[in-house]
């Protein structure tokens, strides 16, 4: 593969991991996001992009007339400009969530910028109302990979119904028809009380208000209730449990599809087709020189065998393991069984004749040394950051304790380089040397690894 193609695939990979996969997870599958309730004849009206001096005031008058409580996701910049409207929302019993400080897509900002935008909006609302918002809706419902951690203090809220009320030709009759079409209980309805954002028609909220009035007048006599998002969430606990289970399954499904694509694109080879525990791919090492204890050196330009665990098998092991200890012991046994096959594979495959050694990135920081690997710090940079968050997300899916594991001893969850020279690999695991290898003390290694128990790409 040429350098140009490698660069293209690397950019594709980074874009996929940074933007497209996170967006797909929350928009299509609602991963870690709330987008629909479960109560009978309950609806949640939500309004984005305000406050607007003209239309938000009219909206508040309409809601007061029918004694309806709703949720606003305000743009920080607009909230700062119209503090009186924010204060009125709060005093009249509405829930205030946030957008970013400016209506910018999270795809177009670095994680630090997104965090600053969210913090600014939160501080503005808290300064006006005395309460810090805990509900967040990203502009256009788009997030990047790092947002899963940036917004962990917030509840991510999406929607189940959107009617295009920002368009210039969205007449009240069309909007009302879209609002009523196949309406189901638990809908989270997205509307806009400002037409000042990019792509919106400035006076579109006027038609939205006319349609909303008729919509309310038609539904109230039928027994429909309009709830704030926090009230709908309280009424949807059982639904939320089922939802999380479904979305976890969806996340795993997408992850496995991505792994299959990765293996195809980068010609990853299976070492042992019976268990498919370990996979290898040949690549040129392009980092700083790695000095190994046996005197070998891996330098930029050397060919190495990049080591990958099979995530499908890892997930299966994680599901069946009752504790971290059981998962760690299972990993140890598979490594003991498979490493001799890795040595045999590299020794007998002509394509690996000039490979200098094994190389991988792992969150296990101590255990691999017992198998002959040298563990080194990953150089600081973009790749280190991406590797950390990729492996943390993988751990949250695979580990028996799920995302709770990320909150316990998180300082230990740091990816590191694990590397072994070809000479050391063959010395330890060549068939004629296998009998000389001392047995690995499983319980000791398991206790060391129980705090991590996850390998990854």
How far CA 87 is from CA of 75, 143, 266, 339, in Å, comes to 15, 29, 56, 65
- Within 8 A by CB and 6+ apart from 273, the residues are none
Which member of 82, 94, 99, 192 is catalytic?
A: 192
Give the integer Cα–Cα distance in Å for 207 and 172. 5
Token code pair at residue 143: 């997030």
DSSP 207-244: HHHHHHHHHHHHHGGGT-EE--HHHHHHTTHHHHHHHH
SS3 of residue 173 by DSSP: helix
Sign of the torsion formed by the C-alpha atoms of 242, 245, 249 and 255: positive
Catalytic residue selected from 48, 49, 52, 231: 48
In the 8-state DSSP scheme, what is residue 306?
E
- Whole-number Å distance between alpha carbons of 163 and 184: 15
**Strand-pair partners of 358:** 305, 420
Distances from the Cα of 174 to the Cαs of 163, 165, 167, 185, in angstroms?
9, 9, 11, 21
Instruction: Map tokens 């939160």 to a residue.
Output: 122
SS3 (DSSP) at 286: coil
Per the CB < 8 A criterion, the answer to whether 308 and 280 are in contact is yes
Active site residue 48: yes
Shortest CA distance to 374 belongs to which of 308, 318, 425, 313?
425
In total, the chain counts a number of residues equal to 457
Inter-residue long-range contacts of 233-240, CB under 8 Å, 24+ positions, other chains counted: 233/34, 233/37, 233/155, 235/37, 235/38, 235/39, 235/42, 236/34, 236/37, 236/38, 236/39, 236/186, 238/38, 239/36, 239/37, 239/38, 239/186, 240/34
d(CA 281, CA 266): 7
Question: Going by DSSP bridges, is the β-strand pair 135-136/71-74 parallel, antiparallel, or unpaired?
Answer: unpaired
Q: Which residues are catalytic?
A: 48, 192
């Amino acid at each position: 593969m040429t350098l140009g193609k490698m660069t293209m695939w690397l950019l594709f990979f980074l874009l996929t991991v940074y933007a497209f996969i996170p967006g797909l997870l929350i928009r299509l599958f609602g991963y870690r996001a709330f987008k629909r309730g479960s109560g009978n004849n309950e609806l949640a009206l939500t309004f984005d992009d305000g406050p607007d001096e003209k239309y938000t005031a009219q909206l508040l008058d309409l809601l007061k007339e029918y004694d309806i409580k709703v949720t606003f996701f305000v743009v920080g910049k607009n909230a700062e400009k119209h503090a009186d409207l924010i204060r009125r929302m709060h005093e009249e019993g509405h829930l205030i969530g946030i957008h970013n400080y400016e209506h910018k897509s999270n795809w177009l900002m670095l994680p630090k910028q997104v965090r600053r935008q969210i913090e600014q909006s939160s501080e503005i609302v808290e300064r006006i109302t005395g309460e810090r918002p805990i509900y967040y809706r990203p502009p256009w419902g788009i997030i990047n990979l790092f947002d899963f951690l940036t917004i962990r203090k917030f509840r991510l809220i999406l929607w189940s119904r959107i009617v295009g009320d920002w368009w210039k030709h969205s007449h009240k009759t069309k909007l009302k028809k879209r609002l009523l079409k196949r309406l189901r209980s638990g809908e989270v309805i997205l509307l806009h009380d400002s037409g000042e954002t990019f792509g919106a028609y400035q006076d579109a909220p006027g038609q939205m208000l006319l349609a909303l009035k008729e919509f309310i007048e038609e539904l109230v006599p039928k027994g429909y209730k309009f709830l704030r998002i926090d009230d709908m969430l309280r009424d949807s606990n059982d639904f939320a449990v089922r939802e999380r289970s479904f979305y976890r399954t969806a996340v795993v499904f997408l992850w496995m599809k991505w792994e299959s694509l990765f293996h195809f694109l980068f010609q990853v080879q299976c070492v042992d087709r019976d268990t498919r525990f370990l996979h290898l791919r040949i690549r040129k090492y392009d980092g700083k020189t790695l000095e190994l204890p046996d005197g070998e050196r891996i330098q930029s330009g050397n060919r190495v065998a990049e080591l990958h665990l099979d995530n499908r098998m890892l997930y299966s092991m994680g599901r069946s393991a009752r504790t971290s200890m059981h998962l760690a012991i299972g990993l140890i046994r598979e490594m003991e069984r498979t490493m001799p096959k890795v040595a045999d594979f590299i020794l007998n495959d002509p394509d690996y004749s000039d490979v200098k050694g094994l190389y991988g990135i792992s969150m296990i920081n101590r255990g691999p040394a017992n198998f002959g690997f040298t563990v080194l710090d990953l150089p600081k940079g973009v790749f280190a950051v991406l590797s950390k968050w990729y492996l943390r997300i993988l751990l949250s899916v695979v580990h028996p304790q799920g995302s709770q594991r990320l909150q316990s001893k998180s300082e230990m969850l740091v990816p590191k380089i694990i590397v072994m020279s070809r000479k050391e690999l063959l010395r330890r695991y060549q068939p004629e040397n296998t009998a000389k290898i001392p047995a690995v003390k499983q319980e000791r290694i398991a206790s060391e690894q129980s705090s991590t128990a996850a390998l990854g790409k």
